Each structure stands twice: as C-alpha cells, then as structure tokens.
Structure 1
Amino acid sequence: MKNRFIASLLLGTALSFAAGSIASAGDKTVKIGALSDQSGLYSDLGGPGSTLATQMAVEDSGLAGKGWKIDVISGDHQNKPDIGTS
C-alpha cells in the first residue's frame, strides 16, 4: 500500500512538471551554458575548446533551420569554487 502511494506521488509530481514545460514550449529559445576553466591551469582540457565544441554541436543539430534560437553562453570559473558558484 505504501509503495503505491509513493508511486502515485512521484507520478503526480512528474506530470505537474511536464505540464509546466509544455506550456512554455512555444518559445523556441534555448540557452546553453558552458562553464569551464577558460584561462587557468586546466584551460587546455576544457577551456575555449569546449565552448567551441558546444557551438559546433548546436550548428550540427540543425535546429536553427527549424526556427529554434539557441544561444551558447560561456563562463570562466578560473578554477575557483567561489567564482564558479556566483
């Protein structure tokens, strides 16, 4: 009995989130954030190259031709947690 209550609670929560996302689906604007170390010690591993790869993936997706506007926003956390969280 308890498992059915938890399952119905989870299903209701999932459906409420799905209904909220369907209401805003007509906007067709998506922003993708790429937060990585752009100028620090680890910039070779995931810095400007990861932002460029994200932009290339957006172009390859073909969604711009279907009316979607996709913005790629990059940020530099400088390998510091306090800067990354703000």
Structure 2
Amino acid sequence: MSDENLSMNDEPVVISSLVVETVSGKTAAVAADLAAREGVEVHETQGHKLVVTIEAATTGASHAVASGFAAVPGVTGVNLVYCNFEDEFAGR
C-alpha cells in the first residue's frame, strides 16, 4: 500500500499525556482554554494541576500544541508524562 492510498484514519497518531500546572485560582480558566483546542482533552483536575492529552499526527505537531500551553495566562508548567506512537503501518 502506498502512502497516497492511506485514508485520514490510517495515518499515524501520536498521543501525548501531560500534567499542566497552573496558578491557584486560574485552574478552571486554563482547563477551559486548553479543552477548546483541537486535539486536546482535559481529563482531570487535581488542585492546581490538570491531566491533559494531545492527539496529533506527528511528534512535531504534538510538541507545537504543548508548547502553546505555556502562553496561556495562569500556566506555570507543562510536563510531558508519556508519549505513544500509534502506527499500524510501521512495517511498510
């Protein structure tokens, strides 16, 4: 199978899990901002920390999304916990 014949659902997916730290009192606003971004899901809030996942096509795209978190008012830290590469066509 050539790369040109892959459908959108057949493309590799990078799933990254992060902990985003926030200023006390800004956690809800940060969570709302991040959740509104494409490919981002906020799973849990613990005090001033958020558990977040990013789904992107490449590690570069995932990094770009995560790097953008630092510009959100109230974010004090962005920590990558885990990165998984889903590519059923790795043997091509």
TM over 0.5: no
**Highest RCO, 1 vs 2 (Cα 8 Å, sep ≥ 6):** 2
Bigger helix fraction: 1
Give the TM-score, by structure 2 length.
Answer: 0.34
Bigger strand fraction: 2
Give the TM-score, by structure 1 length.
Answer: 0.36
